[in-house]
Structure 1
């Protein structure tokens, strides 16, 4: 087991780090991109993992010189995801770290998902009641790669950011953690 004894808290990203939901999100994005005329590039879309959906639409609009309404595209993507009726599974190696350190270390989740989605997913896996903080895209003004998500998790846990370690699966998430001082 990785030695995290020099930290007081652990912050996990949710999608792609704690829960294997990225394939389903990528399929929902593929369908959404097709519907709105965005070229779909799996690697590029994966690189945006952790960015809130509405902000991803802003990025896509800028990249492809389009002007789709972020709320409309986000709603379509959410409905596409929900129509798949998939229940992502826990990533066992990450969950092993969670379980090993949970008895004596604060644990938070900082995710680019909307709060209802995050709460549903975490509840279905019995995790919501086991964490000390949940910060979602719904709870912040600036999503990843901005550091606000991780700074908010650390503040809610009552721990200095430098005393927290982050588990992330994307460069954008790593950048947010670094800029937050975690």
Structure 2
């Protein structure tokens, strides 16, 4: 398993999507910023403190289910909103309404800018599968399948556990390990024989608390120390830097 940069005991690889498979983390951050800034300006006027696309995004919302991200950021500003209903619009000041506004903005940004995959990640997934490693995608996004299809990557994963499936099964989202554990279980592999690939601090927490066999942190935004502090066994800027595949497949 040296060519993959993984311990010999690893039998399954569990990949987050946004920021690991696809270059959508920056689009998510922009959608969160617009949704929160609209809300904060309505609440406090022009002098509001805006949402920070780096610190606030990484600390409070990245990797979490949408409603959990809303609650987490609002709590950081000492704001409490009613939960609302899943049908609430962005004009309604509820947790669900804010989440729905963010999702509408995200889908619009994806329609206008498109979605790209990280070629190095797709090469890594294919190499893992060629070596008999089972693969799963684990994402809090309810748009996971459509995004994977848009980059022709759906067939690279034996199992998908996303926001829709988590809701159906009542699985707690990251930083809890439940969705990763469910993916490993569906693959028929123990957590201790599974590797987690994440770029979010919440994903690192999930990998650590779930006692997975190896946790790989992808440092896309210069937070290597934080990824290690939250449980990464190794941190790399790109999967082309993991193992010997960088020499075989080149860097993107």
**Fold-level similarity (TM above 0.5):** yes
How far did residue 137 of structure 1 move?
A: 2.2
Post-superposition CA distance 1:61-106 (Å, at most 9, x none): 2111221412111110011111221322111222221111112211
Task: Find the counterpart in structure 2 of residue 81 from structure 1.
Answer: 106
Higher radius of gyration, 1 or 2: 2
For structure 2, list consecutive stretches of 5 or more residues without a partner in the other structure.
Answer: 41-48, 82-92, 213-252
SS state at 2:195 partner? strand
Task: Find the counterpart in structure 2 of residue 41 from structure 1.
Answer: 52
Task: Find the counterpart in structure 2 of residue 100 from structure 1.
Answer: 127
Report which structure shows greater RCO (CA 8 Å, sep ≥6).
1
SS state at 2:4 partner? coil
Post-superposition CA distance 1:39-70 (Å, at most 9, x none): 30122213331101111011122111221412
CA gap of 1:29–1:168, structure 2 versus 1, over 3 A, is same
Please give the alpha-carbon distance, in whole angstroms, between the structure 1 residues aligned to 2:115 and 2:18: 9
How far did residue 170 of structure 1 move?
A: 1.6
TM (normalized to structure 2)?
Answer: 0.68
Give the number of aligned pairs: 180
1:165 matched to 2:182: no
Alignment of 1:98-177 (within 5 A): 98-103=125-130, 104-114=132-142, 117-140=143-166, 141-177=171-207
Please give the alpha-carbon distance, in whole angstroms, between the structure 1 residues aligned to 2:70 and 2:165: 18
SS state at 1:17 partner? coil
- Root-mean-square deviation (Å): 1.5
Q: Which runs of 4+ in 1 moved over 4 A?
A: none
SS state at 1:42 partner? coil
Post-superposition CA distance 1:6-63 (Å, at most 9, x none): 3110000000011110111111111101111173012221333110111101112211
Post-superposition CA distance 1:143-182 (Å, at most 9, x none): 1000101101101111101110011112210110111121
SS state at 1:89 partner? coil
